[in-house]
Structure 1
Amino acid sequence: MNKTNHPYHMVTISPWPIMLSFNLMFLLISIIKLFYQYKMNLLMLCLFNMNLILFQWWRDVTRESTFQGMHTLKMMKNLKMGMIMFIISEIFFFISLFWTYFHASLSPSIEIGSLWPPKNILMLNPYDIPLLNSIILITSGIMITWSHHSLMINKNLNSILTLIQTILLGLLFTLFQIYEYLETSFTIADSIFGSIFFLTTGFHGMHVIIGTIFLIICLMRMIYKHFSKSHHFGYEAAIWYWHFVDIVWLFVYTWLYWWSF
């Protein structure tokens, strides 16, 4: 329990930040090694170490919040503000990608034939897989809201079941995105359109994968009864992140798929 005379969590000494920092440095080196020498041994080792470090770091955070009572109401307020600021930074990241897209599309340069999409770019049908993925993500947003509401009224089993459905929908979205990439007639090297398309959809897909992992961790914690209706910010943060992913996809679908078709 928190026995200090203030509501703030004074973080104890931890080996995980410095270990993760060095691991990220070696991860960058391993990626460069992969590009130039096509060797994946160091990359696999760095990815394994990164997951091991993160698991133990998150384990300590779970202990501090769930069992040691370090996350007081004041701390919860600060954590919520931190998550809001993080999501705002992510919003501006995608704004920069959309800005690039509109800068290139509203006034196409002569190098790409003054056309948008550029000549010889066969656009994907927005009413095919992209529309299906939109329905999948919107449905997942509804399911996770249902799960949150069930937790708030102490229906834990229903909350777990609807969270599982959300995770399955997230995995299904990722599988369809991979299939779409395999079927796409252009690549990231095909003019500025290919670069913007794969950069934007790729980063969104990465956020979906991260959000799915976030929800899987929350599912494990929910099964072990780490959450209550008044103390579940970890899950709430995952829900905020997932809704952010949903909303960004609506803009991606509207502008990169439907508007360019």
Structure 2
Amino acid sequence: MTPNPWRVFWGLLEHDLLITRKQLGGVLAQVLMQPLLMLLVFGKVLGALGYTPPGYARLLLPGLVALNAFFAAAQNASFPLAMEFATRTIENRLRAPVPLGWIVVERIFAAASRGLVTAVLMVPVGALVLGDLSWRTAGIPAAFGYTALGALAGGAVGTTIGSLVAPARIGITFSLVMPPLLFTGSAQFPFPELDAVPWFRALCALNPMTYVSEGLRGALTPRIAHLPAWLCVTGLAVALLVFTPASLWTFRRRAIT
């Protein structure tokens, strides 16, 4: 009898979530440090010195939550996957009695779960640093939806990179690709206010993280300039429609070589 693909999918996902739980301390230390320092320096220290405008930390924190959702998922998809291909331990997963697409989607969901956890944990860290979030509580469900979509998009991007790049080059590739994504993801500034630099605005529009940052600002801090909700959802949907098939193509190409 052919196993139910859903049961196999959930079995693989439960295995990866168990590993995530065991490694949670290291994962959090790895992915929370940079956003925490950015919030502390740009949100508190420079504000106290008068170099950033009042309320800048309130603008910055939703962007850092978006950064954690997207980058933690991308990082935790790309590096382990590259190592599994290098050591051929991926073959254990390829023997699962499901089509290859199920394995790829499971990896995206597993990576997204890490991104979602680190994004959610950024909220109490931000509250501890800033003291008062002043968020619109009615927007929390929508904010959670944007965060989940951003984590899935990051997982798809990371799976594409992890199955495309050779293990010896994954570190340098990540260091070359991720900083531009970080600084064009509208985490530190509102996208609608980039009219003065149209070339940079165009770069930010191509970055899926922009739509997570803007969606979170619209849901939690609506008084700050932000993109409309429909455009944020559309941008994230397009990212998933592009990178999910791309991750499947690169994974299949790598798996059969």
- Pair in the same fold by TM > 0.5: no
Q: What is the TM-score when the length of structure 1 is the normalising length?
A: 0.30
TM, length-normalised to structure 2: 0.30
Higher helix proportion (structure 1 or 2): 2
Greater relative contact order, per chain length (Cα 8 Å cut-off, separation 6+): 2
